[in-house]
């Protein structure tokens, strides 16, 4: 293992009590020698606007972009990696609960100026604290020399119980469930990287308790075959996940109005490309009442977006009106 994981760290003038390896549950003494000294680099404060008429162009840019880890967003990115790999396991065959899973976690890292060593330490701290609340252990950890990258996998994950592509049933529902209560922001996202935007605010991904609530109800839907297809929302956000679900001859017609009203501080582009962990899945129309009861019981938000169509195109609509305006308009009609 790279000696970085067994080194002492001083971050922003504070001597940290634990080495990265110790934070991840490895009971090894720190290496002798001088500690690694670094300071935190915060993301630049930016204000930027996106064009809702360029969603197709943004998606095309995202699909061509390879993720690069940015040091100011390392902690949030690491938590998103952990949330994402655990969520990916939700589609696996068999019977299991979230606390029965473990994670193999790997870091590639080297010193690259001010902020790089701090980013390594903070990414490990973020993952260890998030995993601790989820009661998730690390079955394997490693750190190698190389360009900074974080990768994780769940060794217990088996073959998929349901497909990742849409069933063509036009009466079925496509449902979106965000696994965190965070606002949708684009700092550090694949879209921001594709457009050359460095800085801004990003989703914090810091509500593991809510992820557990979401996980429980969605996992039950998968095991009981109520969900007939499903995919994880991760890099590229909701739009990238929807694009992966569509295929030749099957697309979707979706209404984002309810999602937009639930997050009034986020425009449509942020809702579609903000990388808040979550899932999209599909259910038959006959199971909608059952799904509604399950989510109400768990006090979890969900958004029925629309239905499959006989074209690969993802057609998106949304209302500019607040919820009360839409209700009054429907009553007048």
Domain count, the chain: 1
**Structural domain of 198:** 161-329
Centre a 10 Å sphere on the Cβ of residue 301 and count the other Cβ atoms it contains: 16
Per DSSP (E only), the strands in 82-236 are: 102-109, 137-145, 149-153, 173-178, 227-233
Q: What is the pLDDT of residues 246-290, one digit of tens each?
A: 998 899 999 999 999 999 988 999 999 999 999 999 999 999 999
Tell whether the model's pLDDT for residue 332 goes beyond 90: no
Using alpha carbons only, give the angle 105, 106, 111 rounded to the nearest 5 degrees.
140
The predicted structure's pLDDT at residue 265: 84
Rg (alpha carbons) of the chain, rounded to whole number: 21
Furthest CA-CA distance within the chain: 76
Q: What percent of the chain has pLDDT over 90?
A: 90
**CATH classification at residue 239:** 3.90.650.10
Q: CA dist 212 to 76, 178, 229, 311, Å?
A: 18, 12, 21, 35
CA 59/CA 189 separation, integer angstroms:
12
- 46 lies in a domain? no
Quick one: pLDDT band at residue 321, thresholds 50, 70, 90? low
Quick one: pLDDT band at residue 299, thresholds 50, 70, 90? very high
* Dihedral angle sign, alpha carbons of residues 249, 53, 62, 127: negative
Q: Is 93 helix (H, G, I), strand (E, B) or coil?
A: coil
Quick one: pLDDT band at residue 323, thresholds 50, 70, 90? very low
The predicted structure's pLDDT at residue 328: 35
- 168 lies in a domain? yes
Q: What percent of the chain has pLDDT over 70?
A: 95
The predicted structure's pLDDT at residue 331: 33
- 108 lies in a domain? no
Of 326, 318, 307, residue with least CA distance to 256: 318
The predicted structure's pLDDT at residue 327: 40
Mean predicted lDDT score pLDDT of the chain = 93
Of 128, 129, 132, 111, residue with least CA distance to 120: 111
The predicted structure's pLDDT at residue 320: 67
Instruction: Give me the sheet containing 14-15, strands edge to edge.
Output: 14-15, 9-11, 36-38
Q: What is the DSSP letter of 67?
A: P
The predicted structure's pLDDT at residue 325: 44
Q: What is the pLDDT of residues 141-184, one digit of tens each?
A: 999 999 999 999 999 999 999 999 999 999 999 999 999 999 99
Q: What is the pLDDT of residues 49-102, one digit of tens each?
A: 899 999 999 999 999 999 999 999 999 999 999 999 999 999 999 999 999 999
Of 149, 169, 152, residue with least CA distance to 70: 149
Q: What is the rounded average pLDDT of the residues 3-12?
A: 96
**Contacts with 19 (C-beta within 8 Å, 6 or more apart), sequence order:** 5, 6, 7, 8, 9, 28, 30
- 260 lies in a domain? yes
Burial of 284 (0-12, 13-18, 19+ CB in 10 A): middle
- 226 lies in a domain? yes
**Contacts with 153 (C-beta within 8 Å, 6 or more apart), sequence order:** 85, 103, 104
Tell whether the model's pLDDT for residue 2 goes beyond 80: no
């Amino acid at each position: 293992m790279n000696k970085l994981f067994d080194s002492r760290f001083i971050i922003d003038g504070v001597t940290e009590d634990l080495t990265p390896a110790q934070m991840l549950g490895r009971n090894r003494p720190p290496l002798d020698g001088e500690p690694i000294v670094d300071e935190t680099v915060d993301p630049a404060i930016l204000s930027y606007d996106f064009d809702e008429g360029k969603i197709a162009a943004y998606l095309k840019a995202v699909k061509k972009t390879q993720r690069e880890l940015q040091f100011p967003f390392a902690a949030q990115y690491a938590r998103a990696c952990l949330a994402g790999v655990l969520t990916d396991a939700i589609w696996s065959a068999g019977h299991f609960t979230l606390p029965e899973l473990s994670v193999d976690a790997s870091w590639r890292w080297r010193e690259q100026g001010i902020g790089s060593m701090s980013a390594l330490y903070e990414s490990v701290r973020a993952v260890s604290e998030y995993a601790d609340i989820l009661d998730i252990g690390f079955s394997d950890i490693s750190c190698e020399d190389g360009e900074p990258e974080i990768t994780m996998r769940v060794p217990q994950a088996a073959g998929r119980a349901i497909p990742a592509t849409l069933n063509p049933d036009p009466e079925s529902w496509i449902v979106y469930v965000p696994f965190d209560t965070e606002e949708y922001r684009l700092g550090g996202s694949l879209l921001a990287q594709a457009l050359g935007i460095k800085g801004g605010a990003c989703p914090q991904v810091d509500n593991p308790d809510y992820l557990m609530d979401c996980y429980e109800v969605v996992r039950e839907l998968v095991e009981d075959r109520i969900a007939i297809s499903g995919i994880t929302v991760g890099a590229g956000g909701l739009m990238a996940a929807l694009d992966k679900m569509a295929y030749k001859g099957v697309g979707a017609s979706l209404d984002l109005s309810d999602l937009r009203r639930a997050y009034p501080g986020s425009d449509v582009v942020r809702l579609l490309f903000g990388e808040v962990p979550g899932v999209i899945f599909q259910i038959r129309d006959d199971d909608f009442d059952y799904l509604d009861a399950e989510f109400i019981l768990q006090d979890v938000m969900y958004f029925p977006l629309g239905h499959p169509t006989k074209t690969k195109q993802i057609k998106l609509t949304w209302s500019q009106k607040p919820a009360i305006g839409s209700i009054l308009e429907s009553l007048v009609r």
